[in-house]
Amino acid sequence: MSSTKTKQKHPATWIPTAYFAMGLPFVAIAQASVLMFKSFEVSDSLIAFWTSLIMLPWTLKPLWSPILEMFKTKKHFVVATQLVTGITFALVAISLPLEHFFSYSIALLAIVAFSGATHDIATDGVYLSVLSGKLQAKYIGWQGASYNIAKILTAGALVYLAGILEKHFGVLHAWMAVMLTYALIMISLALYHIRMLPSGGTASSEVQSLNEGFKTLWDVIRTFFQKKHIGWFIAFIIVYRFAEGFAVKIAPLFFKAAISEGGLGLSTSDIGLIYGVFGSGAFVLGSILAGYFIAARGLKKSLFTLVCVFNIQFVVYALLAIYRPTNLYLIGSAVVVEYFVYGFGFVGLMLFMMQQVAPGKYKMAHYAFATGIMNLGFMFPGMLSGFMSDWLGYKLFFICVLVAIIPALFAAKFVPFIHNDNPDIE
């Protein structure tokens, strides 16, 4: 009776909150923690090294994703990891006044990263298990929008709030308040999902020994790389966000750099307002419209259009670097375009991985493999981007990023489809 009732939960009651919870810890570590440690006057080299290193669980998560296939329900892992993440954020806040706060907080954020990566696997598992192919296409936009609302709140509004609190209460109390806010949000979401989240199905097998667990892991890996056209799929996943990998680390530095250095010379508050106010609505609108666009046409017919739209953002960056406008409203308008096309195009990759790469015996684990590959393809150009921008300057750098678009356009035109993507056929 209860399981039937759970299955009847409307997707709109849990998809936005579950994917918001997915976005918060990732963005808190990738962006907000960097600014926090900078406020505490930790050296740039330490910040860059350690905040990059502790992000590894999001790339390595396929290695333990089979475990989630074998034990408990997917809902169990979603709720448990949200609680762990919330409690650990509270411990980060408590660690900040301590003498060796950096070591303690990095260790705790590493726990958040592992918990967050595990949460991603389980949440995607619920999404894939509960929704039909048609509903997956319909709600993919809501999924992406919710994830990025978390990004806007976590690295936008709350970081902007931290900047205000720093002036009135000092750096320590400002960032303690932000970390405690993260904790409160995650714990509240866990309590909400105890009631509202579907189970996502039961364990796929009964594990009787550690040896059987390793056999299952090997079977997951083997069957993933035995998929038809897997070489094409991996190449497509890597090149889809290749240009973004170069641009994403440099864009905020370009916005903040002095005009004499080739940047736009914006203040931190200006950047927060532009991305938080102008960008947020555009991204959400783009993500949602893309979901309905794909649901109406099917992914195969939509994919090349989605890739083209996705890469318009890099044309925007190049134009900003060439002309370097000083009018805040003009820059804000450019950010609106950038966020809209990013939101519209990004959902194409997520749905492709769900509908073409993930299907099979280990749907959740194989989707985790695909997202891990996506993160690797995104991470490596990001690691090189700083050296390239220093060498080329912002103007030439963003022009060169346009060249990195070409592989994605080529791949989108020719990547094969092996599963039916007709929105009218489930």
Query: How many whole angstroms separate alpha carbon 155 and alpha carbon 147?
Result: 12
Cα separations in angstroms, 17 against 78, 86, 339, 411: 11, 15, 21, 33
Q: Looking at the structure, tell me whether residues 236 and 91 fall in a common domain.
A: no
Quick one: tokens of 206?
């009964």
User: 170 with 199, same domain?
Assistant: yes
Q: What is the CA radius of gyration of the chain?
A: 21
In a domain, 422, yes or no: no
Give me the pLDDT at residue 337, please.
93
The mean pLDDT values, 10 residues at a time, for the chain of 426 residues are 53 92 92 80 69 83 72 83 98 97 97 95 85 80 81 82 84 94 98 89 53 76 88 91 82 79 78 70 84 86 92 94 91 91 89 86 82 82 77 91 93 83 50
For residues 230 and 82, state if they share a domain.
Answer: no
Residue 400 belongs to domain spanning: 213-415
- 424 falls within a domain: no
- Calpha distance 343→137 (Å, rounded): 15
The answer as to whether 421 is a domain residue is: no
> What's the rounded Cα separation, in Å, for the pair 244 and 239?
9
Spatial CA neighbour of 393 closest among 324, 335, 330, 310 = 324
Residue ending a domain, among 206, 237, 257, is: 206
Q: In the structure encoding, which two tokens stand for residue 416, read together? A: 């094969």
Task: Give me the number of domains the chain comprises.
Answer: 2
Same domain, 135 and 260: no
> What is the CB-side half-sphere exposure of residue 319 using CA atoms within 13 A?
12
| End-to-end CA separation in angstroms for the chain | 26
- 95 within a domain of the structure (yes/no): yes
- Measured between alpha carbons, how far is 16 from 24 in angstroms, rounded to an integer? 12
Q: Do 230 and 159 share a structural domain?
A: no
**pLDDT at residue 403 in the model:** 94
How far apart are alpha carbons 108 and 382 in whole angstroms?
24
Same-domain check for residues 14 and 121 = yes
Q: Is 303 a member of any domain?
A: yes
Residue 121 is predicted with a pLDDT of 86
Q: Which of 206, 223, 255 is the last residue of a domain?
A: 206
Task: Kindly report the pTM of this predicted structure.
Answer: 0.71
Q: Are 173 and 297 members of one domain?
A: no
Domain membership of residue 182 (yes or no) is yes
Same domain for 162 and 220? no
Pair 230, 191 in one domain = no
Q: How far apart are CA 21 and CA 5, in angstroms?
A: 23
Does 425 fall in a domain? no
**Are 220 and 196 within one domain?**
no
Name the domain boundary from 186, 206, 226: 206
CATH number at residue 264: 1.20.1250.20
d(CA 317, CA 112): 32
SS (H, E, C) the chain: CHHHHHHCCCHHHCHHHHHHHHHHHHHHHHHHHHHHHHHCCCCHHHHHHHHHHCCCHHHHHHHCHHHHHHCCCHHHHHHHHHHHHHHHHHHHHHHCCCCCHHHHHHHHHHHHHHHHHHHHHHHHHHHHHHCCHHHHHHHHHHHHHHHHHHHHHHHHHHHHHHHHHHHHHCHHHHHHHHHHHHHHHHHHHHHHHHHHCCCCCCCCCCCCCHHHHHHHHHHHHHHHHCCCCHHHHHHHHHHHCHHHHHHHHHHHHHHHCCHHHCCCCCCHHHHHHHHHHHHHHHHHHHHHHHHHHHHHHCHHHHHHHHHHHHCHHHHHHHHHHHHCCCCHHHHHHHHHHHHHHHHHHHHHHHHHHHHHHCCCCCHHHHHHHHHHHHHHHHHHHHHHHHHHHHHHHHHHHHHHHHHCCHHHHHHHHHCCCCCCCCCCCC
Could you tell me the two tokens for 14?
């849990």
Closest CA relative to residue 30, chosen from 15, 50, 46, 16: 50
Contact 367, 357 (CB under 8 A): yes
- Tell me which amino acid residue 52 is: S
Tell me if 410 is assigned to some domain.
yes
Contacts of 401 (CB under 8 A, 6+ apart): 243, 246, 247, 314, 317, 318
Indicate if 200 and 221 belong to the same structural domain: no
- Residue 169 and residue 307 in one domain: no
